[in-house]
Structure formats: structure tokens, C-alpha cells
Amino acid sequence: MIFLILGLLVGGITVIFISQNVTPVTVFIFNWELHGSLAIVIIISILIGAVLAVLSFITEMLDNAQKVSHLESDNAVLRKRINDGSIL
């Protein structure tokens, strides 16, 4: 229920934002020239930033998972050596 309320709230705020920012703008990217409303340009920029942030988070998470895997295997080797009596 809370997600429905939050979704409606975000949707309503988005509609208000778009209706107040209909000014046409031109965006130049290298040799491209894109035309659109200010609101759409801002929303697309936010979405691109969010995607890049998620990709950055995923790569860091995979790196941490690999480190944990190595530490777990090192831990298993050390536990075996302790149980065998070779480390005291």
C-alpha cells in the first residue's frame, strides 16, 4: 500500500514538474542537435545518471564478492591447518 501511495505521489510531482517546464531547449552533443522540452531533457539526464550509478555499484559489488570468495577460501585453508595441528 505504501508503494502505491509513493508511486502516485512521485507521478503527481512528475506531472507538475513537466507541466511547468515545457520550454523548448536545444542540446548539442558532438555533431548531434537534439530538440525537446526542458523537463524531458532533465528527466533523461537524471535517468542516465541513475543508470551509470547502478552500473558503478554493480561493478563494486562484484569486486567485493570476489574478495569475499578469496577470503573464504583462505579461511578454509587456515582452519584445515589449525585442525591438522600444523599451526599453533
Q: Do the Cβ atoms of 68 and 50 come closer than 8 Å?
A: no
pLDDT for 20-32, tens place per residue?
888 899 989 888 8
Is the pTM of the predicted complex or chain greater than 0.75? no
pLDDT of residue 88: 58
Q: What is the DSSP letter of 86?
A: S
What phi and psi values does residue 26 have, to the nearest 5 degrees?
Answer: -120, 130
pLDDT for 63-86, tens place per residue?
999 999 999 999 999 999 888 887
